[in-house]
Homo-oligomer: A and B are copies of this chain.
């Protein structure tokens, strides 16, 4: 298929992935070049709020914005919905599922994918949370578990259906566990007649001695207390060693009967890095040069940005896999490529003096539920190193997440949804869209036990 006329003859920048890094590259890039942005989804997803879609607090379109809409007025940006399969550094081309693209510059922000550390068969029983599809699956499964708990005549099954195990005590696991406890114990309370939803259990299992281990110790401690105040049971220094349809088993031999397991534990880089033919860092991440390129490997025209990258800050600490780092990387590379295009200087053998990437760590925050959160400001003048917990941290979290949402419509919609659900303790998006699919999740035994006459 031909290049649109007005873009012919311009240098070609191929951007892989419309996550925070790729999107912010395209938004801020202002050089004379044609840009092709490739993503296997048709939308940019605001990952930090994905757990709220899983928890039925937000609807899917509220946290996603079609990529085409974002760039509809940028005539030099062509969007392709396709999947990147292989990067050929020598030929300077990317193989997609349906096409092959030649590039002058490559910006790869394909991010990460969940990993079950060799137990990939657990995926069927313990969904992780990376895509809208995942979120909808978790929502559907959870709502159906409570519907089944309401109808079943078997007290053991009812208990199992009302027990939720969250694996992993990082920010994702903590957000999931906290909002899950609110949903099950409080939001559901008035909706069911036969079960007492306050009896539902939410159990967080973490392999380390404290949750949120990247945070200062007192914030971890506060997070733990805030979770406990919502009724979440926390199991530390313990690993999940087996996941079955009706239970999980921990490394100390504990067995928890449950039909709801959520995976918030492992992330590794997109498998495309394996085909690069270079030595990779932990989790398949790409060890880039300080300017985020592969210049020292002979490819100054190739950049990696976002979670797919392994790079250290000046103090030797690794740059964390968080949204602000991805955004900053995208913008950094946009500046570098603009400058190179202007100067028309480019050596193909490394040694090009390009500015190193510097991560501006503005801090981190995790929400734990309604009016509960922990936050820690980073390198921000006047409030450097400030720690916040509870309501104040939560208000900060709300503000920042609304501000960074892509699209005015989404900001208004999310704001209104939050006002509604926090004020009314209801959830707008508690809709099971395709119950048929999940019915096949039940095993034959439990279905048979279900078919018992109700006393009239």
Chain A residues in the interface with B (C-beta under 8 A)? 1-4, 12, 40-43, 59-62, 64, 66, 68-69, 72-73, 75, 78-82, 93, 97-102, 132-133, 136, 143-144, 147, 150-153, 190-194, 409-410, 412-413, 416-417, 420, 426, 428-436, 447, 450-456
Contacts and interface: CB of A to CB of B under 8 A. Distances in A.
Given A133-B433, A413-B413, A413-B428, 16 more contacts: A1-B454, A12-B456, A42-B143, A42-B432, A43-B430, A66-B191, A69-B430, A75-B193, A79-B193, A81-B150, A82-B151, A93-B456, A101-B456, A102-B454, A409-B426, A410-B428
Given A151-B1, A420-B409, A455-B2, A43 B194 contact: no
Contacts of A73: 190
A420 to B, nearest CB: 5
Most chain B C-beta atoms within 10 Å of own C-beta, residue among A42, A101, A436, A451? A42
Given A99-B451, A193-B78, A434 B133 contact: yes
A64 B456 contact: no
7 contacts: A2-B194, A59-B61, A60-B433, A81-B147, A97-B451, A98-B451, A99-B151
A450 B99 contact: yes
A444 to B, nearest CB: 13
A132 B412 contact: no
A361 to B, nearest CB: 32
Contacts of A143: 42
Contact of A4 (B43, B101, B194, B433): B194
Contacts of A79: 191, 193
Given A2-B455, A99-B450, A454-B99, A66 B431 contact: yes
Contacts of A93: 456
Contacts of A454: 1, 3, 99-102
Given A12-B456, A455-B2, A72 B151 contact: no
Contacts of A435: 40-42, 81
B431 A42 contact: yes
A402 to B, nearest CB: 16
A432 B41 contact: yes
Chain A to chain B: the 8 pairs with minimum beta-carbon distance, closest first: A102-B456, A68-B191, A98-B450, A61-B429, A81-B147, A72-B190, A100-B453, A59-B61
Nearest to A56: B61
A81 B151 CA distance: 8
Contacts of A81: 144, 147, 150-151, 432, 435
Contacts of A43: 430-432
A13 to B, nearest CB: 12
A284 to B, nearest CB: 22
Contacts of A136: 433
A68 B191 CA distance: 5
Nearest to A72: B190
A61 B431 contact: yes
Given A1-B151, A136-B433, A62 B60 contact: no
Contact of A192 (B2, B60, B68, B455): B68
Contacts of A420: 409
Contact of A1 (B64, B100, B132, B152): B152
A356 B236 CA distance: 67
A270 to B, nearest CB: 16
Contacts of A450: 98-99
Contact of A42 (B132, B413, B417, B430): B430
A98 B450 CA distance: 5
Contact of A409 (B1, B72, B190, B428): B428
Nearest to A143: B42
Contacts of A3: 454-455
A97 B410 CA distance: 40
Contact of A61 (B41, B64, B147, B428): B428
Contacts of A40: 435
Contacts of A455: 2-3
